[in-house]
Chains A and B, each alone.
Chain A
Amino acid sequence: MLLATAAIVAGLILLVWSADKFVEGAAVTARHLGVSTLLIGMLVIGFGTSAPELMVSALAAGQGNPGLALGNGYGSNIANIGLILGAVALISPLAVHSQVIRQELPLLCLVTLISAWLLLDGAVSRLDAVLLLVLLAAVIGLSIWRANRGGDDALAMMDDKPPSADTMSLKAGVIWTLVGLVLLIASSRLLVWGAVYVAKPSGSAI
């Protein structure tokens, strides 16, 4: 019990600290590279924080339980918009500066529709799955291509601080992004382990 309580306290402190370093590292990296923070937010933070879902789902599929991926993926999407975006906007109204968002949001809606179309026959076949992965590659390519055209998203860049305002170098930014992400995921696991143990000391079922 003492160990579990210690895990919760340590997990919470580490979570807040590593999230801070992760976001700072990602924002600094974006500014040094001269790309919009939205792109880094999407590709590094968005994909990075979904790495646990990917690992858990791929492992479960390998063990003959691929259905977990749907519950995991869709459940996580629902939590991202309902819990996270909802709670964040409740704390402080969220300004949407970027023109790119006007293009990414319809794209996300389209992807959501395509996923329903694939599910209509009651299964995600290997061909369906390959199609999903090809779409992911296309979405990533499109985002990078858009970012490289540069200047297009002047509105999003306008309020960005110049790189000189950052105390971190590009190298430090990249390192903190990676270290922050690993610690962020590890501290979340630590926190969950502690919380489950305190809630139910006898079982370690989950």
Chain B
Amino acid sequence: MGGGLRCEAFGVSDLIIGLTVVAIGTSLPELASSISALRKKEHDLVLGNVIGSNLFNTLGVVGLAGVIAPIDAGGEVLSRDWVVMAVLTLAMAVFAIGWRGPGRINRVEGGALLGVYLAYTGYLVYTIVQTSAG
């Protein structure tokens, strides 16, 4: 997503295309397989997919890249991206574990997760447009 795009190399419209189309594009395999699992009533596959994918991204994707070349992590990665990731991860855990009886992620909780995602993406687009304009 945003972290890797070189702002100076693209115009604003390119960046917004990059952030929206390409970001959604890289999530398409997860999205399509999750909706397919939902249609087959394989609910455990949906959550398993998200948990497994996130473990793999945090440990495997970052780990392998870091072994190839040490990563210089700017302040924003920790103060912005990691914080949003941690909030969403914690929210998912609280929603899914189900403190009384079996867990269930309901529509309101799903809407809240989606709201955080849209706000984060909107903020990214906003800051990049600001930086490019200024």
Q: Tell me the A residues contacting B by CB distance below 8 Å.
A: 15-16, 18-20, 22-24, 26-27, 36-43, 45-47, 49-50, 52-54, 57-58, 60-62, 64-98, 101-102, 104-109, 111-113, 115-116, 119-120, 122-126, 128-133, 135-136, 139, 155-156, 181, 184-185, 188-189, 191-192, 195-196, 199-200, 203, 205-206
Contact = CB atoms under 8 A, between A and B. Distances in A.
| Dominant secondary structure of chain B at its interface with chain A | helix
A40 B48 CA distance: 8
A136 B57 CA distance: 10
A135 B61 CA distance: 12
Interface residues of B, number: 97
A189 B85 CA distance: 25
Main secondary structure of the interface of A (DSSP, over half): helix
Contacts, number: 437
Interface in B86-117: 86, 88-93, 96-98, 102-107, 109-117
Nearest to A193: B25
Given A111-B59, A132-B63, A133-B63, A85 B111 contact: no
A23 to B, nearest CB: 4
Contacts of B113: 81-82, 85-86, 89
B26 A73 contact: no
